[in-house]
A and B are shown apart, each in its own frame.
Chain A
Amino acid sequence: MSNSSVIGYDSKIEGDVVVTQLDAAINWFRKYSIWPMPMGLACCAIELMGTGASRYDISRFGMEVMRFSPRQSDVMIVAGTVTYKMALVVKRLYEQMADPKWVIAMGACASTGGMYRSYAVLQGVDNILPVDLYVAGCPPRPEALLDALLKLQAKVQREPLLATLKKVPQAA
């Protein structure tokens, strides 16, 4: 039996300790499990499906768990033309998502109304939702959507989490 007591650095214990900030740790957890909600409204949704298929392998980034329930999703990918008839439905689905939540406007229609300068089409989903990222294209390639998701990860990592947590959320 050894009498020596362990003093100072113990590699058996402290070798597995990582010192970081809580912000950075939580954001790191979050950004690798962002579950998308496929708000597929038009042809962009086909590219969204392509992104989710094997060729582009969206699960490299921890985002393959597409959820069709807003209550289980973190990022709403608005893929397609948002008509006025659908607009308040999209808004309601967004409101049903649990915080933290993000929005990606995929493609020209979701970003600005696209080619539909029309009585029937909402001129950009940012009229009703706070959009984090806009993806250009008509429709965007899966690579463009993956790039947007990577940029969203970078944005999540930068979020001042604890500073915003202390605030009482203001009713919109």
Chain B
Amino acid sequence: MNARDLAARLRTRFGDLVSEPAEFRGEITLTVADAERLPEVCQYARTELDFDFLLDISSVDNYGDDPRWTVVYELYGLGHRCHLRVKTAVSEEKSELPTVTGVWRTADWHEREIYDMMGIRFRGHPDLRRILMWEGYPYFPLRKDFPLAGRPTELPEIAFTAPAPLEGGPFVTAPGGKDAVQREPRVRTAEE
């Protein structure tokens, strides 16, 4: 059994809800068309296909495109050792999808991290609080329209933030440079 067979079984079970498996460098990716039905797909993958380990959940900000968010689930089976990636799209207006904490308990903190960094909410999550930043921080720092240097905030007695001095940065390394002076991190414009 390999990841391609398992992906095919998901597709026979769910039909057009699940896309054709796409393979890139030996890794199989499926796209679930309707984010609302994602827990259903995940539950089937967990119980019937033995994907008993949720490696990670991450999110992508396709800034300027619609739908804006992509949520990516990395599935793994410790028994059959197959890896499967499941993606689903969420629109900016909605910014909400159902939780998979009922399928894998480890999804709890992954979903909190996405909520904290991107501002995508997970409906039905048992404890959807910020996990890295503090409660009351008003921004979602991983969004593309959030400046790298940050924004000033003030929450008395809890925390404050100030923009970081970028000094013309961000500083970019040039891995192909012929000497250390060229390779080291510097302010580089796109033409260089």
Residue from B161, B165, B169, B171 in contact with A119 in the complex, judged by beta carbons closer than 8 Å: B161
Cβ of B164 within 8 Å of any chain A Cβ, yes or no, is yes
Cβ of A38 within 8 Å of any chain B Cβ, yes or no, is no
Quick check: B170 and A117 within 8 Å, CB to CB? yes
Quick check: A84 and B170 within 8 Å, CB to CB? no
Can you name the residue of chain B whose Cβ is closest to the Cβ of A127?
A: B162
How many positions in chain A have a CB within 8 Å of any CB in the partner chain?
13
Quick check: A119 and B149 within 8 Å, CB to CB? yes
- Known interface pairs A85-B133, A85-B134; A117-B157 also in contact (CB < 8 Å): no
Quick check: A119 and B159 within 8 Å, CB to CB? no
- 16 A-B contact pairs sorted by A residue (CB < 8 Å): A84-B160, A85-B133, A87-B159, A88-B157, A88-B158, A88-B160, A116-B164, A117-B169, A117-B171, A118-B148, A119-B148, A119-B163, A120-B132, A120-B133, A123-B162, A123-B165
- Interface positions of B (Cβ within 8 A of A): 132-134, 139, 141, 146-151, 157-166, 169-171
Quick check: B146 and A119 within 8 Å, CB to CB? yes
Cβ of A113 within 8 Å of any chain B Cβ, yes or no, is yes
Quick check: A117 and B160 within 8 Å, CB to CB? no
Cβ of A121 within 8 Å of any chain B Cβ, yes or no, is yes
Taken together as a complex, chains A and B put the C-alpha atoms of A87 and B133 apart, in Å, by 13
Quick check: B133 and A123 within 8 Å, CB to CB? no
Among A85, A116, A119, the one with the most B-chain Cβ atoms within 10 Å of its Cβ is A119
Residue from B139, B147, B157, B159 in contact with A85 in the complex, judged by beta carbons closer than 8 Å: B159
Chain A contacts of B147 at CB under 8 A? 119
Shortest distance between the CB of B100 and any CB in chain A (Å): 27
Chain B contacts of A127 at CB under 8 A? 162
Shortest distance between the CB of A121 and any CB in chain B (Å): 7
Chain B contacts of A84 at CB under 8 A? 159-161
Among B134, B149, B161, B166, the one with the most A-chain Cβ atoms within 10 Å of its Cβ is B161
Chain B contacts of A120 at CB under 8 A? 132-133, 141, 150, 161
Taken together as a complex, chains A and B put the C-alpha atoms of A167 and B150 apart, in Å, by 41
Shortest distance between the CB of B96 and any CB in chain A (Å): 24
